[in-house]
Structure 1
């Protein structure tokens, strides 16, 4: 584990939009605030993001953390409608996961929105045992686990979870003053098919992230939450691989948020590909970023790897040195200089 890593956890979840006010108001309820703003002309956007459109962006940050932020990317000419509320069981899927201390309050708002006829798909908060601990006696010993739910809307794809009777101190910092008593994004999700896991070595070998979980299997029969969230059918299963901030740990109690959470479905399954609806220019969740020291070092490593569509280093809409690429698994990424 590196003591002074030059890369940390996932810095931003980027959301393509056309109008800003409603999205700002929505994320303020989860504890975010307006931070930096900036613009790029279409020619620079084309060089950095591969999109022929002017761009205006707003970074939504939080005062108490340095990762898990949101970048609202307002496109003058968006490429397409993005992932919208498509199934979570597609290649190119993206979602952001948030810790809360009041999942039922969020559910109350979700059900009100559903009754009001708003476009929304959700699951009821299911009980899930994430970490194996000594099994207690019902009604006598503390029940250790989480309640987690999925919430899909046209521009947002979220998983929300509440812990019961355990803590992970560095994995999510709750803002108790916001409406939904929630943290920054603790992890960001992806869906791939790679039985060999060869494409995933890029995140370890090139970016220097810490692989903290590998090959954890979830089946239709083993998890009601996963069955509903990922539309699992009888006999279907997936495995999970995660990559963390290098300061994190394989000891779950010492883990740090900012995790990349990769769902690996077997190659034998027939999954639709939505990568073209999951990259800059698309509406909705369409990009993740990392912030790094010495961006030229990372540029050289990525340029000499199996990554494709590697751009030059240019100033992004916030005046930060930045470059983009497509990783070997098909996901579009952007690195930002500190």
Structure 2
């Protein structure tokens, strides 16, 4: 059995500054460990001494964590200010109780020297939503925004007039009232390859998979910073044990730069997603018989957990945690 997305892993230039940032969203350190360069190379495909810190938001211990990874010799500077929809781009989303407080925080920080690209909160209608026509027929849906920094790529959303219990838990101690990561996304060039995550990871594809979206939807246009005519296919995959920690796969229907090299372990910024499984030996055997490549042996990671790495057919690197 496989979890939802377990960790969103962030390559850091400055551990203390990065920990200070994530603390504002309610994350606290729960584990810390190190690997020598040779060990890191075996698991992550990048030979450098590594220090990692696992961060947890509230009581969400089985999905949506953040892992801060400090590489003595980083692979590269990461995605940086690359816009969301390019091949290899990654991001993850969190629920907030006050999206305008989050927006104000980034606006004020940018006005005082912070290096951010972000969108203003915009209304988005979900499948069961309602546009709203007035006082007695109110908007049902979410407001969303997207933030890009030198080490982070995050989406935030706030619900209006409906609830999904368990899909994002905001702890009272979170300074900006932000939950754990609820879903994580990446961009691939060939949407047919997304079937790998159902066929070999054992994730559950949603009924809406393969839908076409993009510029013609105003909220999507703003959040993903699209230009006229830019559209994509979108599919989502859930764990058999939970509907949170969702994986979303986007495939643009227009040419984009290939930035996969800048979102792999060793890169600065968001550069890896992990899953946790109950029987790592059986899962390892399953993946070895798949179309995945560069499947490592099962070894201990920096936290002493049994793990292995692999490259999916779409070229994205994954680490599976026992």
Q: Same fold (TM over 0.5)?
A: yes
Q: Which runs of 5+ in 2 are unaligned?
A: none
| 2:299 is equivalent to residue 311 of structure 1 | no
1:258 aligns with 2:245: yes
1:190 aligns with 2:186: yes
Question: 1:127 is matched with which residue?
Answer: 123
Q: Which runs of 5+ in 1 are unaligned?
A: 1-5, 249-255
Tell me which of 4, 16, 23 is aligned to 2:18: 23
Give secondary structure in 1 for the equivalent of 2:18. helix
Instruction: Give the alignment's TM-score, normalised by structure 1.
Output: 0.92
1:257 aligned counterpart, secondary structure: strand
Q: Structure 1's 81 and 111: CA in aligned 2 closer, same or farther, altered over 3 A? A: same
Match of 1:228?
222
Aligned to 1:149: 145
Residue in 2 that maps onto 1:201:
195
What is the TM-score when the length of structure 2 is the normalising length? 0.96
Question: Is the Cα contact below 8 Å between 1:315 and 1:321 reproduced in 2?
Answer: yes
Q: Are the counterparts in 1 of residues 130 and 141 from structure 2 also a CA contact under 8 Å?
A: no
2:275 pairs with 1:275? no
Q: Which runs of 4+ in 1 moved over 6 A?
A: none
Q: Is the 8 A contact 1:156 1:284 kept in 2?
A: yes
Deviations 1:116-170 (A, max 9, x none): 1221100000111022346654221231011100111100100000000011112
Aligned position for 2:40: 45
Distance 1:281 1:30 in 2: 24
Aligned residues: 320
| 1:19 Cα offset (Å) | 1.5
> Quick one: structure 1 residues 143 and 91, their matched pair in 2 at CA, closer, same or farther if it must change by over 3 Å?
same
Whole-angstrom distance in 2 between the partners of 1:83 and 1:225:
23
Are residues 1:99 and 2:90 paired? Answer: no
> Out of 2, 5, 8, which is 1:10 matched to?
5
Residues 15 and 155 in structure 1, CA contact (< 8 A), matched pair in contact too: yes
- Are 2:243 and 1:244 equivalent residues in the alignment? no
* Aligned-partner Cα distance in 2 for 1:153–1:18: 13
The 10-residue stretch of structure 1 (60-69 or 105-114) with the greater mean CA deviation from structure 2: 60-69
Instruction: Give the SS at the match of 1:166.
Output: coil
- Residue 303 of structure 1, CA deviation: 0.9
SS of residue paired to 1:258: strand
Q: Which residue of 2 aligns with 1:327?
A: 312
8 A contact 2:79–2:263 mirrored in 1: yes
Contact 2:131 2:138 in 1 (8 A): no
Q: SS of 1:307's equivalent?
A: coil
1:67 Cα deviation (Å)?
1.0
Q: State the Cα distance separating 1:225 from its structure 2 match.
A: 2.6
Inter-partner Cα distance in structure 2 for 1:187 and 1:45: 27
Deviations 1:18-65 (A, max 9, x none): 311111111111111111100001111111111110001000013412
In structure 1, how many angstroms separate the alpha carbons of the residues matched to 2:131 and 2:271?
40
Q: Cα distance 1:239–1:97, how it changes in 2: closer, same or farther (>3 A)?
A: same
Structure 1, 226-235 or 277-286: larger mean CA deviation: 226-235
